[in-house]
Structures are given as structure tokens and as C-alpha cells.
Amino acid sequence: MPKQSTKKTEKPVEELTYEEALAELEGIVEILEGEQGQLEEAIKLFERGQALAARCGVLLEAAQLKVKQVAGDDVSAFEEESE
């Protein structure tokens, strides 16, 4: 039986970028606020939401400024001088 999913197939949270995870989390809040979902659906959304929030937290913790240098068509990592 085909799975009746209204959304695009869910990516595992570990593969999401911060922006993707945040956008999906905001979407989930919106759906839950609507409160017309099935209970099972609501629980699923809640679990997914928690996983997304955790993912966002991990990404924020681990965020490190990436600096690339652009020269012509070339983009390369920029080596900062140590202070």
C-alpha cells in the first residue's frame, strides 16, 4: 500500500542543514498550532520536531566560521594569519 504522505519524503535529521531543520521545525509548530491533525500524526510531528530542535542545537554548537577566498573563478579555503 502506498504511504500517504502529504509532505515530501522526510530526510533523516542528521542530513539536514541548519536552515532546513529550522524551516521544518517552524512548519511543524504551525501544523501543531492548527490542531486538526490525527493524534498519531501529532505525535509523529512532535517527535520529529524534537529531533529537529536537537539537530539545530548540535549544529549551533558545532558551527565554525568558514572562510573562503574568491579569486577569478576559483574559490579556495582562506588561511587566516594566526594572531
Partner 1 sequence: MQPSLFPAQVPQTYTVSKLTFLIRKLLEENESLQDVWALGEISNLSRPASGHVYFTLKDSNAALKSVMWKTSAARLNLALRDGMEVEVHGRIGVYEPQGQYQLYADQIRPVGEGALYQEFMRLKAQLEAEGLFDSERKRPIPELPRRIGLVTSATGAALRDILNTLRRRLPLVEVLLAPSPVQGVEAPPALVKAIQLLNYQLPNYELPDVIILARGGGSIEDLWAFNDERVVRAVAASKIPIISGVGHETDFTLCDFAADLRAPTPTAAAELATPITIQDLAATISNLNSLILTHALSVLSSKQSSLESLKSQLRYLSPTRLIQSESQRVDELSRRASSAAFNRIILESKQLEGTQKRLESLSPLAVLGRGYAVVTRKSDGSVVSRVAQASGEMKVRVSDGEFEVKKS
Nearest partner of 30 among 7, 12, 13, judged by Cα: 7
For residue 14, state whether it binds partner 1 (rule: CB under 8 A): no
Whether 31 and 43 have beta carbons less than 8 Å apart is answered as no
For residue 20, state whether it binds partner 1 (rule: CB under 8 A): no
For residue 13, state whether it binds partner 1 (rule: CB under 8 A): no
Residues 22-61 that bind partner 1 (CB under 8 A): 22, 25-26, 28-29, 32-33, 35, 37, 39, 42-43, 45-46, 49-50, 53, 56-57, 59-60
Separation in Å, CA 1 to CA 5, 10, 41, 53: 12, 18, 18, 31
For residue 63, state whether it binds partner 1 (rule: CB under 8 A): yes
For residue 16, state whether it binds partner 1 (rule: CB under 8 A): no
